[in-house]
Chain A
């Protein structure tokens, strides 16, 4: 009985989650006339696949996609590497002031973004990085608090025997980290990678502030700018938005367990 109620509740909820996506997908396959037709039709007839081709023809969509991919790839590489390094220092190395650093990491995790918007803009401006992809990549190369916590927890759980054996064989700390600890931490690295990818892929505020030339736009900013180009033809912008979601969906489907695992470990921190 209770299970039946749960099923009904959960299924209804899942429909509420997914039906709007289906409706948007349907919108993206309509001609302008079909798009503004009242009452609207659920399944466009005929299906207007050409919207997707038209977005590619008339906009630098490929460029937006490339920019987003380049930024996401470099953000993932940077955050995974540096967060693992710092997490390793906090978990396995004799770092003076280690506890203070851990407390500060907690503090920065709670630091509201709002306080960083103007100063970071001024910082990147003085570095001459405005309207380049660098402000969207570089911060990830300085480790993130969440990444540090995740990696520190993981490295704490790895037995000491491995590194002791390696040290006796004359391996230096970098070799211990790179050859022994990192391979053992693969699931956590994957979790951090998918989270970083998502954060970078979804970002709207930072690219809006830092990028001015269309050839540097990422997908969210690029798609948003199409609103001006396709005045009123929102079925085309919807098609572009759907395409911008696709790479994210692929990552999500392939790495679903890491998303759940990561979210859960974030929750257990409390």
Chain B
């Protein structure tokens, strides 16, 4: 990101002699070209930010006009047990999902980075779940985690272990969802890591080999710092995404069993679009928004300690 802005500065400073009139014409053209995004900023960025803040302080059921209630929605929210439970569920899901996916994606990328034959084919295999919708994945996951007929219990039975209820077990539902989410997302993250690995100059490894560095030390002192920028990006992106996870639980469990997999955005969806409490839904959105923002800022702060941009 720093690279982008620096380049922008360079391009901006190219003085070209031209008359004032031609200048104005060029500007008009430039604005015309940029106009879709100017409209985007108004309608799809500024409006949602301001409107959701406004509606979060109202009671609004879509029928009668919004009624101002101050911080009433937020007071109610902080006393809403379901909200706290969904926040706990979301955090639990994130804690299982983010590290597992990151470590597995890195491991696969390192393995695939050795110019293996058929690498394109492998990469494709890992990408199929990435391009599938959650609806497709729900039925693919059913073939695995259906308690009666799924593959997972067949494997457990083969190993002489007792069957599990997976998505229907309140204690197992979030770990199972996290496993499916890793399965779906690991290919994308793996390609991101591959790009990071391929940007590390080969000479560094050769020099380290000549100096007699062990494979572990080469990994620890060359690979890990070399991809720390990518790792940072992966962590920021997945955390933002995971805190807002909705489609997976909406499609696979609808929050069940007994609310054990109800995530915060599902709660928001229900309040807003099933009970038509737009004000309350907006308050949930703002609290989650602030949490996402805070987490992102913390990650940007911590980045200085461990991310090396070579």
Contact = CB atoms under 8 A, between A and B. Distances in A.
Interface of A: 2-3, 5-7, 9-11, 13-14, 16-21, 23-24, 26-27, 35-40, 82, 85-86, 88-91, 93-96, 98-99, 101-108, 110-123, 125, 139, 141-143, 148-149, 156, 172-174, 177, 198, 201-205, 208-209, 219-220, 223-224, 234, 237-238, 241-242, 244-245, 248-249, 252-253, 256, 259-260, 263-270
Interface string B99-123: 0000000011001101010001011
Contacts of A3: 114, 116
Nearest to B104: A13
B127 interface: yes
Contact of A9 (B43, B107, B247): B107
Contact of B128 (A17, A105, A113, A117): A17
A259 B136 contact: no
A2 B233 contact: no
A17 B125 contact: yes
Contacts, number: 297
B126 A99 contact: no
B49 A115 contact: yes
A142 B43 contact: yes
Interface residues of B, number: 101
Contacts of A98: 8, 12
Could you tell me the dominant secondary structure of chain B's interface residues?
helix
Contact of B240 (A23, A112, A220, A264): A112
B238 to A, nearest CB: 13
Contacts of B114: 2-3, 6
A10 B247 contact: no
A208 B269 CA distance: 10
- Specify which of A7, A36, A141, A263 lies most central, judged by the most chain B CB atoms within 10 Å of its CB: A263
A139 B183 CA distance: 30
Contacts of A143: 36-37, 40
Contacts of A266: 192
A105 to B, nearest CB: 7
Nearest to B124: A256
B168 interface: no
Contact of B111 (A9, A101, A268): A9
Contacts of A94: 23, 26-27, 30
